[in-house]
Copies of this chain bind each other. A is one copy, B any other.
Amino acid sequence: MPKDLRLPFDPIARAGELWRARWGESSQSGAMVTATSIMRVQQLLLGEFDAIAGRHGLTFARYEALVLLAFSREGRLSMGRIGERLMVHPTSATHIVQRLAAQGFVDRVANPDDRRGALAVITDTGREAMEATTADLEAAQFGLGMLSSEDQGRLFSLLRDVRVAADDFVEDPGTGGR
């Protein structure tokens, strides 16, 4: 953020103080400031990732779809599977693939298993844009280079507890994190 737009105090910590002053010391001010921090950091990271992806004609969401396709066995996936794996609404997946197709980063082909559905297939230029964006995101350490590897692991683990409790996936008892 440009220096002149920075607040001279932590606005989230300040909000926590106001929260306790209004709703009491036994209020959920700790949860409130933590949830607000998650949203703020998501906003900061997405802004940074979109800027990086933008250098290669992509948004971060479109980049994620290209990674998914590149990682798939045959470089092709149905819209439904893309939405499921990106954890976005099927309509969003369709929109993302439409934009990628217009850019020549994916081709759409008929789905042999679903007459009404289509498969997205990553193209060579799609792979190039994906690789170039990946290199830049790796160089930027996914916006988390200020944290040690250990602190990244602690952050992942705390957020995993939230995801497990939200029933986001069925926990495999054999693996305990990353």
| A binding-site residues for B, Cβ under 8 Å | 1, 3, 5-13, 15-16, 18, 22-23, 27-35, 37-46, 48-49, 71, 84-85, 87, 134, 137-138, 141-147, 149, 151-156, 158-172, 175, 177-178
Contact = CB atoms under 8 A, between A and B. Distances in A.
A159 B23 contact: no
Interface of chain A: mostly helix, strand, loop or mixed: helix
A143 B39 CA distance: 12
A169 B44 contact: no
Given A11-B85, A158-B158, A144 B41 contact: no
A177 B149 CA distance: 21
Contacts of A23: 134, 138
A168 B35 contact: no
5 contacts: A12-B163, A16-B178, A35-B143, A37-B163, A38-B38
Contacts of A134: 23
B30 A159 contact: no
Contact of A152 (B3, B34, B170): B34
Contact of A41 (B22, B40, B44, B159): B159
A9 to B, nearest CB: 6
A116 B114 CA distance: 57
Contacts of A142: 28, 31-32, 34-35
Contacts of A166: 1, 44, 48, 143
A123 B173 CA distance: 51
A154 B147 CA distance: 13
B39 A46 contact: yes
Nearest to A144: B31
